[in-house]
Amino acid sequence: MKKHNFSAGPCILPQEVLKKASEAVANFDGIDLSLIEISHRSKEFVAVMEKARSLVKELLNLPEGYSVLFLGGGASLEFLMTPYNLLKVDGKAAYLDTGTWSKKAIKEAKLLGKIDVVASSSDKTYNYIPKNYSIPSDIDYFHCTSNNTIFGTQLKEFPKTDAMLVCDMSSDIFSREIDFTQFDLIYAGAQKNMGPAGTTLVVVKDEILGKTGRTIPSMLDYQIHISKDSMFNTPPVFPVYVSMLTLQWLKDLGGINAIEKINEEKAALLYTEIDRNPLFKGFAAKEDRSLMNVTFNLTDDSKKEAFDKLWNAAGISGLKGHRSVGGYRASIYNAMPIESIQVLVDAMQELEK
Ligand SMILES: Cc1ncc(COP(=O)(O)O)c(C=O)c1O
């Protein structure tokens, strides 16, 4: 029996995707070669890359004028690629600081220019999303993180600004309906809702590029990657293939509209128990709670051993909170079935009994 996998990332992927991916490693599409031993320029792999990119456009409902890239280097490299490609020499950008990943993005951007941090929730261990901040008008772009994987908070709305809007969607992309055209640049590491670690999805509006006056190293230049159809260098073929399978799985399920309803139901099941059960309390402010990462603590730490025993015995894995928050974190990404969440809720109720 498989475990109930609540890992924050790399994390659960659909069972049927894992099965197809393992078959392709042995023999890809009946060509008697493995997916990972054929050229990335073969017609077979070029078709995989094209399919993956067109599924992203379809699922996010993107109009003409956006390019989709699958790059290496993780979302962490995008912390640097974003300012390289969008921040003018002598320019300025504004960032919203909502957690560890925002902070890391700010640190990299500061290497290249002036960065205004418009608001931060660091005063309360990032357990809420700052509101009512103002965004300066003299900036090249505004950067935010849609979902704070470690702290379990999520932006429910995105600010309106005349500047370019950039978003790190690593831990909630493809999980809820958003007007994706409000963004000029979106990036997301694959290893939550898309595939294995090793590739990063970048969605960028073509018209914003090439305007900084900077010399950009080739590997960091979005325009070069676009001109080479994400094949400037050898792309991470296996992560791209598995991402394509996951995106197809999502499309077959009914797309983002369908998964959003399931995600809301799953999160409601767990948050309702956290609020009802006197032995638990939620970490994140209620109005900012994430649908993807549910952070919570015991009200009485002396129950820790008993609770840990219960969920371990129930076959649950990956529930330990991040070291900077403590407590527990249940990551309930797209591929997590509601049945696994019920198993966790049962363990919480068992502790109460
Ligand atoms: C919101 C967010 N941004 C960025 C990252 C960093 O991603 P990577 O490890 O792919 O560089 C993570 C990783 O968990 C994340 O959750």
pLDDT given for residue 324 in this prediction? 87
302 CA → ligand 1 middle, Å? 33
Q: What confidence tens digit (pLDDT) does each residue in 172-221 have?
A: 999 999 999 999 999 999 999 999 999 999 999 999 999 999 999 999 99
**Helix/strand number for the chain, H first, E second:** 9, 14
DSSP 138: S
Mean pLDDT of the chain: 97
Cβ of 171 below 6 Å from ligand 1 = yes
List, in order, residues 6 or more apart from 131 with CB less than 8 Å away: none
Note if the pTM is more than 0.95.
Answer: yes
Residues labelled catalytic: 101, 168, 192
In this prediction, what percent of the chain has a pLDDT beyond 70? 100
Reading the block at residue 341, the tokens are 């969440």
Nearest-CA residue for ligand 1 atom 2 is 170
170 CA → ligand 1 middle, Å? 6
Nearest-CA residue for ligand 1 atom 9 is 74
Report whether pLDDT(101) > 60. yes
Cβ of 103 below 6 Å from ligand 1 = no
List, in order, residues 6 or more apart from 7 with CB less than 8 Å away: 317, 318, 331
Cβ of 149 below 6 Å from ligand 1 = yes
Sheet containing strand 328-331, strands side by side: 280-282, 293-298, 328-331
Query: Rounded to whole angstroms, how far apart are CA atoms 266 and 100?
Result: 25
Report whether pLDDT(58) > 90. yes
Region 303-314: mean pLDDT is 98
313 CA → ligand 1 middle, Å? 30
pLDDT given for residue 349 in this prediction? 98
Cβ of 75 below 6 Å from ligand 1 = yes
Cβ of 145 below 6 Å from ligand 1 = yes
Between the alpha carbon of residue 191 and those of residues 178, 198, 238, 268, 333, the distances in Å are 20, 8, 12, 24, 10
9 CA → ligand 1 middle, Å? 9
Region 126-130: mean pLDDT is 98
82 CA → ligand 1 middle, Å? 14
SS3 21: helix
Q: What confidence tens digit (pLDDT) does each residue in 170-181 have?
A: 999 999 999 999
Nearest-CA residue for ligand 1 atom 7 is 75
Q: What confidence tens digit (pLDDT) does each residue in 315-336 have?
A: 999 999 999 899 999 999 999 9
Q: Residue 295, CB half-sphere, CA atoms under 13 Å: how many?
A: 27
pLDDT given for residue 1 in this prediction? 56
Cβ of 101 below 6 Å from ligand 1 = yes
Cβ of 76 below 6 Å from ligand 1 = yes
350 CA → ligand 1 middle, Å? 34
Q: Which of 126, 149, 150 to mutate to test the pocket of ligand 1 (most atoms within 8 A of CB)?
A: 149
Q: Tell me the Ramachandran region of residue 24: left when phi exceeds 0, alpha when psi lies from -120 to 50, beta otherwise.
A: alpha
Cβ of 82 below 6 Å from ligand 1 = no
pLDDT given for residue 161 in this prediction? 96
If 0-12 CB within 10 Å is exposed, 13-18 middle and 19+ buried, where does residue 247 land? buried
Query: Rounded to whole angstroms, how far apart are CA atoms 2 and 21?
Result: 17
Query: Rounded to whole angstroms, how far apart are CA atoms 196 and 189?
Result: 9
Reading the block at residue 137, the tokens are 């008008």
Q: Are 192 and 174 in contact (CB under 8 A)?
A: no
Nearest-CA residue for ligand 1 atom 15 is 170
List, in order, residues 6 or more apart from 37 with CB less than 8 Å away: none
pLDDT given for residue 2 in this prediction? 86
For residue 73, give the ligand 1 atom closest to its CA. Answer: 11
For residue 190, give the ligand 1 atom closest to its CA. Answer: 10
If 0-12 CB within 10 Å is exposed, 13-18 middle and 19+ buried, where does residue 172 land? buried
* Cα 67 to the center of its chain, rounded Å: 18
Q: Are 147 and 169 in contact (CB under 8 A)?
A: yes
Q: Which of 96, 101, 192 to mutate to test the pocket of ligand 1 (most atoms within 8 A of CB)?
A: 101
Q: Is the peptide bond before 83 cis (omega within 30 degrees of 0)?
A: no
CA dihedral 214, 216, 220, 221 (to 10 degrees): 80
Q: How many residues would you count in the chain?
A: 353
- Amino acid at residue number 177: E
Reading the block at residue 110, the tokens are 């500061």
76 CA → ligand 1 middle, Å? 6
Query: Rounded to whole angstroms, how far apart are CA atoms 28 and 45?
Result: 10
